């Protein structure tokens, strides 16, 4: 068994602004795990607001007993072992999980999606995300996202309506909205939800602060649009708490510590009657393919990492008719340049 992990700065095509911050690149840890001639690839995307960085990821890795990172692949035991080292660090845990899932598929000559009984024919279309921007840049970005059938827009500032009006002047595609906890007053939030409903918005992520389930639940109860918990729902234990607060959850591999727990979260949400969305951070093709392997289990997908970055170290996955295409290549199907 051989392991390597190295930092990589993933550059964004445009500076990305949401309700709480703005940035131009994202630190990534690229991981490779080799065993008997096979190599599995993983990645950790360390968006600053999650609190993990290259240093904390390196420190976590220094505590991992490497004898875990090879067959037999018991992911329940692996995740329990990793959580025993430290309760946090979901990003670097995701890198380990994804690399091992890829490695297992390659050794056993099986595409990753088959381990999760995913039906590639049920792949949901992926949305294309617009950060908060000037009308000119927004219109340019809408053009750049022409190959996607859905637009996702970040709101949560005081010019939300203006932004939506700009988008609607250019396209009538369905819209996903992400408020990123940016709305401060529940009545104002609800007024906005009702207005967005009239504008053809299909779902709204995290209207109010994650620490305020009562206000989020109050909006959900009254909303004709699906309200989805994102920042509120990180790991498996959070899924149960989302019931009664949101209509659905947004599962991301960088929050769930990888595909194994991400799959369990999706299944748990379905069991509870919650809708499911699969999202991403700024990610390369590696994280995108890992998420795409689970995406057909979900109602909605927001997996636009490769579209929004300019130095993806891997080949873009196959994309057709607004959707990622799952292939039967063993493992994730990732192609390194
Ligand atoms: Mg979100």
Angle at Cα 183 formed by Cα 185 and Cα 162, nearest 5°? 115
Rounded Cα distance between 150 and 321, Å, is: 11
Distances (CA, A) of 130 to 96, 97, 276: 30, 29, 21
Inform me whether the pLDDT recorded for 49 exceeds 90: no
Nearest to 281 by CA among 245, 251, 311, 260: 251
Average pLDDT value for residue range 36-48: 96
- Report how far ligand 1's centroid is from the alpha carbon of 39 (Å): 32
Q: What is the share, in percent, of the chain residues with pLDDT greater than 90? A: 92
| pLDDT at residue 89, as a whole number | 97
Note the pLDDT tens digit of each residue in 53-87.
999 999 999 999 999 999 999 999 999 999 999 99
- Report how far ligand 1's centroid is from the alpha carbon of 221 (Å): 20
CB atoms within 10 A of CB 159: 12
Average pLDDT value for residue range 80-96: 98
When pLDDT is cut at 50, 70 and 90, the band that residue 1 belongs to is confident
- Report how far ligand 1's centroid is from the alpha carbon of 297 (Å): 19
Strand pairing partners for 6? 30
Rounded Cα distance between 205 and 231, Å, is: 9
CB atoms within 10 A of CB 176: 24
Beta carbons of 104 and 71 less than 8 angstroms apart: yes
| pLDDT at residue 21, as a whole number | 72
CB atoms within 10 A of CB 320: 9
Average pLDDT value for residue range 214-219: 98
- Report how far ligand 1's centroid is from the alpha carbon of 334 (Å): 25
Average pLDDT value for residue range 16-22: 72
Backbone angles phi, psi at 199, to 5 degrees: -90, 10
| pLDDT at residue 19, as a whole number | 63
Average pLDDT value for residue range 155-180: 94
Rounded Cα distance between 230 and 16, Å, is: 18
- Report how far ligand 1's centroid is from the alpha carbon of 251 (Å): 10
- Report how far ligand 1's centroid is from the alpha carbon of 32 (Å): 28
Write down the mean pLDDT value for the chain: 96
- Report how far ligand 1's centroid is from the alpha carbon of 20 (Å): 12
- Report how far ligand 1's centroid is from the alpha carbon of 42 (Å): 22
- Report how far ligand 1's centroid is from the alpha carbon of 57 (Å): 23
Average pLDDT value for residue range 146-162: 93
Average pLDDT value for residue range 171-193: 96
- Report how far ligand 1's centroid is from the alpha carbon of 255 (Å): 12
Of residues 150 and 18, more confidently modeled: 150
3-class SS string, the chain: CEEEEEEEEEEEEEEEECCCCEEEEEEEEEEEEEECCEEEEEEEECCHHHCCCHHHHHHHHHCCCHHHCCCCCCHHHHHHHHHHHCCCCHHHHHHHHHHHHHHHHHHHCCEHHHHHCCCHHHCCCEEEEECCCCHHHHHHHHHHCCCCCEEEEECCCCCHHHHHHHHHHHCCCCEEEECCCCCCCHHHHHHHHHHHHHCCEEEEECCCCCCCHHHHHHHHHHCCCEEEECCCCCCHHHHHHHECCECEEEEEHHHHCCHHHHHHHHHHHHHCCCEEEEECCCCCHHHHHHHHCCHHHCCEECCCHHHHECCCCECCCCEECCEECCCCCCECCCCEC
- Report how far ligand 1's centroid is from the alpha carbon of 117 (Å): 26
The whole-angstrom distance between residue 266's C-alpha and the CA centroid of its chain comes to 13
| pLDDT at residue 250, as a whole number | 98
| pLDDT at residue 64, as a whole number | 98
- Report how far ligand 1's centroid is from the alpha carbon of 180 (Å): 6
Inform me whether the pLDDT recorded for 209 exceeds 90: yes
- Report how far ligand 1's centroid is from the alpha carbon of 211 (Å): 15
- Report how far ligand 1's centroid is from the alpha carbon of 44 (Å): 18
Rounded Cα distance between 281 and 268, Å, is: 22
Note the pLDDT tens digit of each residue in 237-276.
999 999 999 999 999 999 999 999 999 999 999 999 999 9
Average pLDDT value for residue range 154-162: 89
Rounded Cα distance between 306 and 294, Å, is: 17
Nearest to 129 by CA among 309, 320, 304: 304
Average pLDDT value for residue range 271-297: 98
Angle at Cα 37 formed by Cα 43 and Cα 3, nearest 5°? 40
Rounded Cα distance between 105 and 243, Å, is: 34
- Report how far ligand 1's centroid is from the alpha carbon of 154 (Å): 8
Q: Which of 1-5, 47-51, 74-78, 87-91 has the lowest mean pLDDT?
A: 47-51
Q: What is the share, in percent, of the chain residues with pLDDT greater than 70? A: 99
- Report how far ligand 1's centroid is from the alpha carbon of 26 (Å): 16
Average pLDDT value for residue range 315-332: 98
When pLDDT is cut at 50, 70 and 90, the band that residue 125 belongs to is very high
């Amino acid at each position: 068994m051989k392991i390597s992990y190295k930092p990589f700065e993933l550059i964004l095509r445009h500076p990305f602004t949401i309700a709480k911050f703005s940035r131009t690149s994202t630190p990534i840890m690229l991981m490779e795990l080799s065993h008997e001639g096979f190599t599995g690839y993983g990645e950790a995307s360390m968006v600053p607001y999650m609190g993990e960085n290259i240093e904390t990821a390196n420190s976590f890795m220094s505590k991992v007993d490497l004898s875990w990172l090879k067959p037999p692949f018991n992911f329940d035991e692996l995740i329990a072992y990793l959580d025993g080292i430290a309760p946090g660090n979901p990003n670097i845990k995701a890198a380990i999980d994804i690399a091992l899932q890829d490695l297992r598929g390659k050794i056993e000559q099986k595409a990753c999606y088959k381990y999760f009984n995913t039906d590639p024919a049920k792949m949901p279309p992926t949305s294309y995300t617009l950060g908060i921007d000037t009308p000119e840049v927004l219109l340019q970005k809408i053009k750049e996202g022409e190959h996607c059938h859905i637009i996702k827009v970040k709101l949560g500032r005081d010019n939300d309506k203006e932004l939506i009006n700009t988008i609607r002047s250019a396209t009538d595609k369905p819209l996903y909205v992400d408020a990123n906890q940016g709305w401060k007053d529940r009545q104002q939030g609800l007024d906005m939800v009702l207005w967005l409903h009239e504008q053809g918005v299909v779902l709204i992520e995290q209207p109010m602060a994650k620490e305020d389930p009562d206000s989020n639940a109050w909006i959900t109860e009254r909303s004709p649009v699906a309200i989805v918990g994102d920042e509120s729902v990180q790991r498996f234990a959070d899924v149960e708490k989302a019931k009664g607060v949101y209509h659905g959850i947004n599962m991301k591999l960088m929050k769930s510590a990888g595909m194994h727990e991400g799959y369990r979260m999706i299944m748990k949400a379905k069991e509870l009657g919650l809708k499911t969305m699969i999202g991403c951070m700024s990610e390369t093709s590696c994280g995108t393919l890992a998420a795409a392997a689970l995406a057909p289990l979900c109602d909605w997908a927001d997996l636009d990492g490769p579209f929004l970055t300019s130095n993806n170290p891997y080949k873009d996955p196959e994309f057709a008719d607004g959707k990622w295409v799952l292939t039967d290549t063993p493992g994730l199907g990732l192609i390194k340049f």
